[in-house]
Structure 1
Amino acid sequence: MGEVLDRVELLASELVTNAYRHTRGPASLRLTALGDGRLRVGVWDSHPHIPAPFGRSPRDRVPPVPAGAESGRGLFLVEQCADSWGGWPLGGDLLGRGAGKLLWFEVGGARGRE
């Protein structure tokens, strides 16, 4: 896993930062070792909105951020550096309150070496 450590740290940091900056509730980070040397990183937060590229088709891309911008590169980095990614809205309660979302990405394995 050493060859993907820098990517994992960068991308996990971006997702956790977004959860902190854009939600008002709890959040969590989970690392899961999958078969074939892959690692999945999931970040759950309490806000239901799933941003691009997680909520769009793979053909839709996150636009690059202008060079002078102070923020806005995190999801573009996920799109460029992760081998795969996705997002799921999580179910709510009977009063219609959502339970947030889970955003994830994977790195490593045979897919990551192509």
Structure 2
Amino acid sequence: MPTVSPSWNYTLHLPRDPRAPGVARATLRTVLAAHDLTRLTPTAELLASELLTNAHAHTEGPYALRIRSMEPDRLMVAVWDADPKVPDAFKEGAPVDLPPEDLEHGRGLHLVRACADSLGVSVPLEWGGSQGGKLLWAVV
């Protein structure tokens, strides 16, 4: 008789520390291994890395990583931060053009768009939406 795995989610609140994105990626790898989802690790880690790095580099307040199971073999990787400004790459109808090759930055969210099955932004009340902030998410 087939069994259905119960859904799960993990939230890791991160301090304003330059090592925090690395700690979050290590946590993501551990969670995926514990749930026998290591085949999703490379893409999930890339998505998390880009979202976490942007939260650390472009916001002032706290941020958090959320990992949530979806249907079998699907996963949502999300990063909440306290800044309500939504990055252009997550806006409806955002252009998909890459920035010029001579720029050192600006490709991360384009990688997220290219590697995620779907992505979006929301303002979840339980994550501080009443205080501002946003949740950027990507599904793999």
Q: TM-score under structure 1 normalisation?
A: 0.79
Distance 2:75 2:95 in 1: 23
- How many positions carry a matched residue from both structures? 100
Aligned to 1:104: 137
Give the superposition deviation at 1:5: 1.3
Q: Cα deviations across residues 41-60 of structure 1 (Å, max 9, x unaligned)?
A: 01000100111332214xx3
Given the alignment of the two structures, is residue 53 of structure 1 paired with residue 89 of structure 2, yes or no? Answer: yes
Aligned to 2:45: 9
Q: Cα deviations across residues 57-76 of structure 1 (Å, max 9, x unaligned)?
A: 4xx33320222221111110
Give the superposition deviation at 1:104: 0.2
Q: TM-score under structure 2 normalisation?
A: 0.65
**Contact in 2 for aligned 1:50/1:89 (Cα 8 Å):** no
**% of aligned pairs identical?**
46
Q: 1:20 aligns with which of 48, 56, 60?
A: 56
Q: 1:33 aligns with which of 45, 66, 69?
A: 69
Larger helix fraction of residues: 2
Distance 2:40 2:76 in 1: 11
Residue segments in structure 2 that go unaligned for 5+ positions in a row: 1-36
Indicate the structure whose relative CO is greater, using CA pairs within 8 Å and at least 6 residues apart: 1
Q: Cα deviations across residues 53-108 of structure 1 (Å, max 9, x unaligned)?
A: 32214xx333202222211111100111100000013533xxxxx4200000000x
Q: Cα deviations across residues 24-53 of structure 1 (Å, max 9, x unaligned)?
A: 100000111111210100100010011133
Given the alignment of the two structures, is residue 70 of structure 1 paired with residue 104 of structure 2, yes or no? Answer: yes
Residue type of the partner of 2:95?
R
Q: Structure 1 5/68 Cα, relative in aligned 2: closer, same or farther at 3 Å?
A: same
Residue type of the partner of 2:137?
W
